A and B are shown apart, each in its own frame.
Chain A
């Protein structure tokens, strides 16, 4: 049996931090002053394996290479006591301790056979000691010394008592995070630092790690791994080190791995934990580079073991690395295994980042009340969903529940988007109400104030618009200009409601329901009275494929709208083409419809032509023109013609407010033209609405600008 006590190495471990004067045992008469030969000794820095074989640091007379002549005089009092009490645990520990102190000593064959000393008082002291009543041992010793002049307790008892007291003191200090004290106590009681009490070694290592001495902490853990044999303690050692050591130091610990009986590495499970930790760290710090091996390890774990938590780790890792596609994959795996708030939240984020807010909203809806974080992501999905241009088809159910959540959360960003959404559907009353609410919830929200002024103007509530303009004079450049547009948008407000159905061809199924649905709750009654709400829907089928040429112009017009609702714009354009053969209002409607159809189909040149085929009334003209300019701007951007992007957007902004998405487009155009100041300004304005693309844009400005400086 090899010695399991490594006092000398323990001292070496602490060598550099010994604070001789600070110890309470310094110069203590009751504790053998060890003189600590290894402490200041250069050889203490040598490898632990050799240090571990060295002579102990106590006053032990015997060294391995000294004469074998005289066998050491070994105090076996404690040994006898523990044997007589049948305390095998302490007996074994004492044998191990004595073997380490005196390598040539052999324990008695049968400790029980050894004669009792017959010192009842001393027996009592050992009894108190073994019961952990250390203070009472001290009292018993002092009392006997008072009563019996010249009596000296066995050195062994004093030694063990001092070690046990130091252990208590060290553990108390450690529990109170008094790490300097832990190191001080450990350094003055080096015989504490043995494989027999790995907990103390762990605590010392922890104290090093918490006092900016990570290498010393690593040495302490390495000491355990190089010298101590118990498998569970070895594994626990690496686990303890995991949160405290840097990766290179951890790798040194892992290098000591031994094979278990079944041929597996003893640390294989921990390697998984380390890879997991590495991914978790990377989640907290987006700049952290994770070794591909770690990612592969966690992927394997997630696939084999199938723990949703591993898939989640990967999901969060990829979200933070701007890789929403991979993030989606892993979140979806986690989500499929177990539909939890966390998995749903991550999945929703990944979807939002892929511009799929509708799916995000759908997935997160049922978890929206879980906590603030989840609610924020849900509302982000809502705001993003509403900000999509052109407005996507939304079911009544979805719109209704989003409206309820926005209202309940008093979420100004989403309320503003609801305003723009309603505005996009020409539901200005409703839009104005949402802008008003957004402004109530966030009084300094300029875009909402702008929206409110604009929609009031459109409704014809000029007094109301001017009220907003007056309130924002000097605080906003664009609000005061509402009503001064080159095209008289105010005029269209007058006849709002006269032709509700026709003015709203772009939208989906049941606009009248929507109008009610996303009405702010407090104004629900008004909604019933709004023109939009009274509109009747012409519901005719267009699912069959027919040649529109066979239809009369009016029928073709109806079919065109129907196809638009079914999102079949190319066929719709063909139907409108037939309707253009009509006259008057039919022809005008057909031109309007066709231009929208081409726009939706991405054929903006043809849309422009279509719009010119018949005179359009003012607000349709505005609507088509804004859409055309928008398409023009997007196309120009895609083709790298950034000045044209700005020209198109400028022109568009003269007739309609610039939506957040377009502000982002504008920002990137500025950025491409290296007009950093302008880009930053417009991104910042857009970011104020909570738009993620704008936030990303802000960051891109910074990165590009920094790159320029370098």
Chain B
């Protein structure tokens, strides 16, 4: 029994590892083919990551990447492809910034209110896709993509000065006004800069995710529905309710993605509030295999590539090298997971065959089933 577990863990790690190694090799090949020194840009990136302020940037970025990936992973576990994390977090950040700037409450309450509003808005926006899927069978892939575009338009309209927005004197930016200091999340100050306090909440949420999925009835239902909807339904799980619930939870977590930045850095939603984190989250959830620890490492890896590659242009290389690396990682992940999966099945079959031949048929079958 123990031996089997070890095998499973190794196989689980082999996928991402194979992906990373092949992505690394492919990057080197691409660099060499384009006539650039293939090793030096990578050296520059690693050197960049040695600097304290870049490290802080990586940690902070990994924090909100982690949230985005968790939001995506909750859907994935249920076989729901929530591509709408991007629109959900932007709308949530915008609305909660408006609310945060409008009220003044004692510190913790103020922050709590902003966070709850963000979760509510994110859940609401994802819930639309959930209802469409549960009631009308609309593919959540299509509806969430469209909701992203609608969120963009809604935000653009809401942020106009005649609505909820605000244009500071002499500025060409539009903001939602500044959140008073009581709504700022305390940060951990280090020599290299501030680590947003919310980053720790993000990672703590990973533990909650693990617990809810693996140690609760809800998590079991969710995984069961994800594995086979009809089988789950036959054993008494209400699949439609599960779709709705997981979409709402996914959206609520997505609503938190903008919080580290909103509460820790900008204290306002403006035109340059980052967009596209939701899509990065999909990459990270894939790479991390929807596992909270896997996602943790994947978030750091992608944050490292993003932030370390931004120093490439001052060193005379195109910083798009980082984008190429990320793209290659995604391709490599998909291929290597499939390869490892097939290899695992083949090995299992071989093993069963061997043991059958050795005459331990009944015992082994039980193990395989487990």
Q: Are A and B a genuine interacting pair, yes or no?
A: no
Interface set of B (CB-CB < 8 Å, partner A) = none
